[in-house]
């Protein structure tokens, strides 16, 4: 092809890649918003539709089950049928499912809409990340783009709390679903700036045994973790589901090592840097989910904040994410080994979560919550930007979709396991506290019991983050990026690729 490019465009790069980043970022924001925005709307939706306390969790679980279990398949579909095409299908389907949920006359329709949202998100998320990966190949630009993308991935949840609070308080809970439609329309209008489709070589042949084992195994794990919140980790249902999931996923690994066209090629996760990036993302969201889940309850039930005020109270964390990912990590990714960002990021996040352990009923926002938010936000920015970058770094174009799906799967599974585990720890500690204070059944005692549970969960969450930092420090062995001889001075590349 002899088509000329502007002089500042690296060879082979998409000349409209920064506009493409806006489109991709909108899609990612929509997906991340939906994880937290519906949490804010759930109490109003439950009252409006007459959903029982036992069934309300399914409004959240239906989405996470479909999303988490279908991601690997969605990534491989993107590789085989074209990432831009899959991206547009995912956008249209997600918007349609959101509109269906917004008009839901009852629980069953809302539940179906949420499952459809999750299924289309499983197409949209890996295609978005892989489009980003193939749009930005020059090291400095790639670092900046993934810094922005990482900030959206880490901070979008807090934005969802604010938007959810605003929409629920001033309009209606249904707008927490309708809001996805205009975002999807704006993103779809920018389809022409996305890089053209490049499909995997050969006829599309799906690894059917791998698909069945991966989907069923992930469903069992995510469902088991979600049921642990209500049934307890020791229940037969939860234990059986987790064992079944582990067996199916082990069988999936064995199958992938022997088939000609695997759903998840071992080469994708076999690289120590990519594997460490998946691990960092999966374990770091434990800290994020602890912040969102328990601080939301703390501010609303203990401090008496409204839904809107709670969302606003999370905004400093979003600002800290932007500084960590876009201001610091994006500048350092081309200059330092990734573990020099990820490991300190995990330790800073762990420190922030640990600052929440001493919280009590009378703690102020400025002294008790704000410092922790700032540290967790900054630390997550340092973790997510390089992790998202290196999660797809070095894979062939034919594997970009499934590599992107793998990091999203790590995020979903980590969030599901972390939420269920930490919630179980918190409720158990609260129950023990209330039992030991049975003679003082006051409202203040009830609040103190909640805070006691949150503190125990924060201890475990912080410990997990420290453990993740140690593991990543040992495994992520990619050296400092170096410059290719004769290359432009602004184009460093990872040493193991140069």
From first to last of its 498 residues, what are the pLDDT tens digits of the chain? 444 444 455 555 556 778 888 888 888 888 878 777 887 777 788 888 887 756 766 787 788 778 877 888 888 788 778 888 888 999 999 999 999 999 999 889 999 999 999 899 988 888 887 788 777 777 777 777 777 777 777 667 777 778 887 887 788 889 989 989 998 998 888 877 777 666 555 555 667 888 888 888 888 887 787 777 667 777 888 889 989 999 998 998 888 888 777 777 777 777 788 888 888 888 888 777 767 778 878 888 888 888 778 878 888 988 898 888 878 888 888 888 888 999 999 999 999 999 999 998 888 899 889 999 999 989 988 998 888 888 777 776 666 777 778 887 887 778 777 777 787 788 888 888 888 877 666 788 888 888 999 899 899 999 999 999 999 898 887 776 655 544 443 334 444 433
| Entry pTM | 0.77
pLDDT for 204: 55
**373 and 314 Cβ atoms separated by less than 8 Å:** yes
CA 261 – CA 78 distance, rounded (Å)? 15
CB atoms within 10 A of CB 428: 15
CB atoms within 10 A of CB 192: 10
CB atoms within 10 A of CB 96: 17
Token representation of residue 190: 């920018």
CA 269 – CA 102 distance, rounded (Å)? 38
pLDDT for 243: 93
pLDDT for 206: 67
pLDDT for 197: 61
Single out the residue of 414, 424, 478, 412 nearest to residue 75, CA to CA: 412
Widest Cα–Cα separation across the chain: 83
Residue 492 β-bridge partners: 483
pLDDT for 483: 53
Provide the angle, in degrees to the nearest 10, between the axes of the packed helices 107-135 and 83-102. Answer: 150
Q: What is the dihedral of CA 402, 403, 409, 415, to 10 degrees?
A: -160
HSE-up (13 A, CA, CB side) for residue 225: 25
């Amino acid at each position: 092809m002899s088509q000329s490019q502007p002089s500042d465009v690296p060879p082979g790069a998409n000349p409209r890649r920064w506009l493409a980043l806006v489109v991709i970022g909108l899609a990612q924001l929509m997906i991340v918003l939906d994880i937290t925005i519906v949490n804010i709307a759930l109490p109003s939706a439950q009252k409006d539709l007459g959903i029982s306390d036992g069934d309300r969790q399914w409004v959240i679980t239906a989405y996470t089950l479909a999303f988490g279990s279908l991601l690997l398949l969605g990534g491989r579909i993107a590789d085989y049928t074209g990432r831009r095409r899959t991206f547009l299908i995912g956008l249209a389907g997600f918007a349609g499912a959101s509109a269906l949920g917004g008009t839901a006359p009852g629980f069953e329709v809302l539940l179906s809409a949420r499952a459809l949202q999750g299924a289309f998100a499983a197409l949209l998320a890996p295609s978005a990340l892989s489009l980003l990966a193939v749009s930005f190949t020059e090291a400095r630009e790639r670092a900046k783009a993934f810094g922005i993308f990482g900030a959206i991935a880490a901070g979008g949840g807090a934005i969802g709390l604010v938007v959810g609070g605003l929409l629920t308080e001033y309009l209606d809970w249904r707008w927490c679903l309708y809001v996805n439609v205009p975002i999807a329309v704006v993103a779809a209008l920018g389809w022409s700036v996305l890089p053209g489709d490049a499909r995997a070589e050969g006829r599309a042949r799906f690894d059917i045994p791998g698909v069945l084992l991966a989907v069923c195994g992930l469903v069992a794990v995510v469902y088991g973790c979600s049921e642990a919140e209500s049934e307890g980790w020791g229940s037969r249902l939860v234990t059986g589901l987790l064992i079944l999931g582990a067996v199916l996923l082990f069988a999936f690994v064995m199958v992938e090592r022997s088939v000609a066209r695997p759903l998840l090629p071992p080469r994708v996760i076999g690289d120590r840097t990519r594997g460490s990036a998946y691990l960092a993302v999966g374990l770091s969201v434990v800290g994020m989910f602890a912040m969102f889940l328990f601080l939301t309850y703390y501010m609303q039930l203990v401090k008496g904040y409204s839904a809107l005020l709670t969302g606003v109270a999370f905004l400093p964390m979003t600002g800290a994410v932007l500084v960590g990912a876009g201001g610091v990590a994006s500048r350092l990714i081309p200059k330092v080994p990734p573990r020099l960002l990820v490991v300190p990021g995990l330790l800073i996040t762990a420190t922030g979560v640990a600052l929440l352990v001493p919280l009590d009923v009378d703690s102020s926002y400025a002294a008790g919550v704000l410092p922790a938010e700032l540290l967790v936000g900054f630390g997550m920015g340092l973790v997510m930007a390089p992790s998202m970058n290196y999660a797809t770094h070095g894979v062939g174009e034919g594997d970009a979709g499934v590599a992107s799906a793998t990091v999203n799967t790590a995020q979903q599974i980590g969030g599901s396991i972390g939420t269920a585990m930490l919630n179980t720890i918190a409720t158990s500690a609260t129950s023990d506290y209330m039992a030991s204070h049975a003679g003082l059944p006051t409202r203040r005692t009830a609040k103190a019991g909640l805070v006691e549970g949150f503190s125990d969960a924060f201890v475990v969450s912080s410990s997990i983050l420290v453990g993740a930092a140690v593991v990543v420090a040992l495994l992520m062995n990619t050296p400092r990026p170096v410059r290719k001889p004769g290359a432009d001075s602004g184009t460093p590349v990872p040493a193991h690729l140069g």
